[in-house]
Amino acid sequence: MIVGGIDVVTLISMLMVASTPVLLAATGELVAEKSGVLNLGVEGMMIVGAVAGFAAAVTTGSPVLGFAGGALAGAAMAALFALLTQVFLSNQTATGLALTLFGLGLSALVGKPFEGVRPPPTGKVPFGPLSDIPMLGRILFSHDWVVYLSLALVAAVWGMLKYSRAGLILRAVGENHDAAHALGYRVIAVRFAALAFGGALAGLGGAYLSLIRVPQWTEGMTAGAGWIALAIVVFASWRAGRVLIGAYLFGGITALQLQLQAAGYAIPVHLLTMAPYVLTIVVLVVLSALHRHGAQAAPAALGRSFHASN
Amino acid sequence: MIRLIRRPTPSKFWSWTTPILAVVATMIAGGLLFALLGKPPVEAIRTIFWEPLFGDNADYFRGQLLVKAGPLILIASGLAVGFRAGIWNIGAEGQYIMGAICGAGLALAVYPAESPWLFPAMVIAGAIGGFLWGMIPALLKVWFGTNEILVSLMLVYVAQNLLAYMAFGPMKNPQGMGFPGSRNLQQYPSAFNEELIPGTGAHWGVLAALVAVIAIYVLMQRHIMGFRIRVAGEAPRAARFAGVVPARLVVFCLGLSGALAGLAGMFEVSGPSGQITDGFNAGYGFTAIIVAFLGRLHPVGILLAGLLMALTYIGGDMAQMMLNLPSAAIQVFQGMLLFFLLGFDLLTNYRVRLGGARA
Amino acid sequence: MNRRSFLTTTAATAVAATAGLPLRAAEPMKVGFIYVGPVGDMGWSFQHDQARQAAEKALGGKVKTTYMESVPEGPDAERALTQLALQGNQLIFATSFGYMDAVVNVAKKFPKVKFEHATGYKRADNLGTYDARFYEGRAIQGYLAGKMTKSNKIGYIGSFPIPECVQGINSAFVAARKVNPDVEIKVVWAYTWFDPAKEADAAAALIAEGCDVIMQHTDSTAPQAKAQEAGNVYTFGQASDMSAFAPKPRIGSTIDNWTPYYTKRFTDAVEGKWASDATWGGIASGMVEIGEITSAVPDDVKAGALELKDKIAKGYHPFTGPLNKQDGSVWLKDGETPDDGVIAGMNFYVEGIKAELPK
pLDDT score of B327 more than 80: yes
Inter-chain contact C76–B198, Cβ cutoff 8 Å?
Answer: no
Return the closest-CA partner of residue A202 out of A60, A84, A96, A95.
A96
Residue B89 contacts A, CB cutoff 8 Å: no
Which residue in A223, A226, A225, A215 sits closest to A114, CA to CA? A215
Contact B93, B285 (CB under 8 A): yes
Give the gap in angstroms from C-alpha A310 to the nearest C-alpha of chain B: 7
The answer, yes or no, to whether residue A63 has pLDDT greater than 60, is yes
CA distance readout (Å), A158 to A151, A161, A163, A241, C165: 11, 5, 8, 7, 47
Phi first, then psi, for residue A305 (nearest 5°) are -80, 145
pLDDT tens per residue, range C17-51: 444 444 455 689 999 999 988 887 777 888 999 99
Comparing B51-65, C157-171, C315-329, the range with the smallest average pLDDT is B51-65
- Chain C residues whose CB is inside 8 A of the B65 CB are none
pLDDT, tens digit (0-9, with 9 covering 90-100), for C269-295: 999 999 998 999 999 999 999 999 999
Residue of B240, B227, B204, B213 lying closest to B298 (CA atoms): B213
| pLDDT tens, position by position, B243-290 | 788 889 999 999 999 999 999 999 999 988 889 988 888 889 988 988
Interface residue A232 vs chain B (CB under 8 A): no
pLDDT of C17 reads 42
Are C80 and B60 a contacting pair at CB < 8 A? no
In chain A, domain spans:
2-290
The bridge status of strand B2-6 relative to strand B350-354 is antiparallel
Q: What is the end-to-end Cα distance of chain C in Å, rounded? A: 56
Reported as a single tens digit per residue, the pLDDT across A186-198 is 999 999 999 999 9
What is the tens place of the pLDDT at every residue in A8-52?
A: 887 888 888 889 999 999 999 999 999 999 999 999 999 999 999
Taking CA–CA distances from B281, the nearest residue in chain C reads C74
Cα A237–chain centre separation:
14
Indicate the pairing of strand C91-94 with strand C29-34.
parallel
Q: How many CB pairs under 8 A join A and C?
A: 99
What's the pLDDT at C14? Answer: 40
Chain C hits for B61, Cβ within 8 Å = 83
Sign for the CA dihedral angle at C277, C280, C283, C286 comes to: positive
Confidence of residue C306 (pLDDT cuts 50, 70, 90): very high
Q: Domains in chain C, please, with CATH? A: 2-132 (3.40.50.2300), 135-255+289-344 (3.40.50.2300)
- If one compares A136 and A201, the residue with the highest pLDDT of the two is A201
DSSP state of C28: P
Residues 121-180 of C with CB under 8 A from B: 121, 160-163, 166
User: How much is the pLDDT for C85?
Assistant: 93
The confidence band for C12, taking pLDDT boundaries of 50, 70 and 90, is very low
Of C156, C135, C263, residue with least CA distance to C214: C156
Whether the predicted pLDDT of B357 surpasses 80 = no
Q: How many residues does chain C have?
A: 359
Domain with CATH 1.10.3470 in chain B: 58-324
Q: Give the pLDDT band of residue A309 (cuts 50, 70, 90).
A: low
Contact between B102 and B270 under an 8 Å Cβ cutoff? The reply is: no
Residue B1 banded pLDDT, cuts 50, 70, 90 = low
Confidence category of residue C165, pLDDT binned at 50, 70, 90:
very high
- The DSSP secondary-structure symbol of B7 reads -
Q: Does B99 touch chain C (CB under 8 A)?
A: no
Distance from CA of C202 to the nearest CA of A (A): 6
Residues 37-66 of B with CB under 8 A from A: 37
Name beta bridge partners: B6. Answer: B350
CA of residue C216 relative to chain centroid, distance = 13
C323 bridge partner residues: C332
ipTM: 0.85
**Rounded mean pLDDT, B322-327:** 86
Q: Using an 8 Å Cβ cutoff, are A219 and C42 in contact? A: no
pTM of the model: 0.88
Q: Over 80: is that where the pLDDT of A3 sits? A: no
DSSP state of A118: P
Per-residue pLDDT at B238 exceeds 70: yes
pLDDT value, residue B180: 83
Cα(A79)–Cα(A194) distance, integer angstroms: 10
Give every strand in the sheet of C127-132, ordered side by side: C63-68, C29-34, C91-94, C114-118, C127-132, C278-281
pLDDT of residue A120: 86
Q: What is the pLDDT of residues B89-116, one digit of tens each?
A: 989 999 999 999 999 999 999 988 888 9
pLDDT of residue A296: 58
What number of residues does chain A have?
310
Is residue C247 reached through a cis peptide bond, with omega within 30 degrees of 0 on the bond before it? yes
Contact B161, B269 (CB under 8 A): no
Supply the CATH classification number for the domain A2-290.
Answer: 1.10.3470
A205 Cβ contact list (under 8 Å, min separation 6)? A20, A21, A22, A23, A24, A25, A28, A46, A49, A225, A229
CA B194 – CA B104 distance, rounded (Å):
15
Given a contact cutoff of 8 angstroms between Cβ atoms, the answer to whether B180 and C97 are in contact is: no
Q: Which residue intervals of A209-268 are DSSP H helices?
A: 225-235, 240-262
pLDDT at site C9: 36
Residue contact B57–C11, C-beta within 8 A = yes
The Cα of A129 is separated from the nearest Cα of chain B by a number of Å equal to: 43
| Res A256 pLDDT > 80 | yes
Task: Assign C324 a pLDDT band (cuts: 50, 70, 90).
Answer: very high
C74-117 tens-digit pLDDT: 888 999 999 999 989 999 999 998 899 999 999 999 999 999 99
Give the CATH number of domain B58-324; options: 3.10.450, 1.10.3470, 1.10.10, 3.40.30: 1.10.3470
Residue B176: closest C-alpha in chain C = C345
- For chain C, give the mean pLDDT: 87
What amino acid is encoded at B43 in this protein?
Answer: E
Q: What is the pLDDT of residue C8?
A: 34
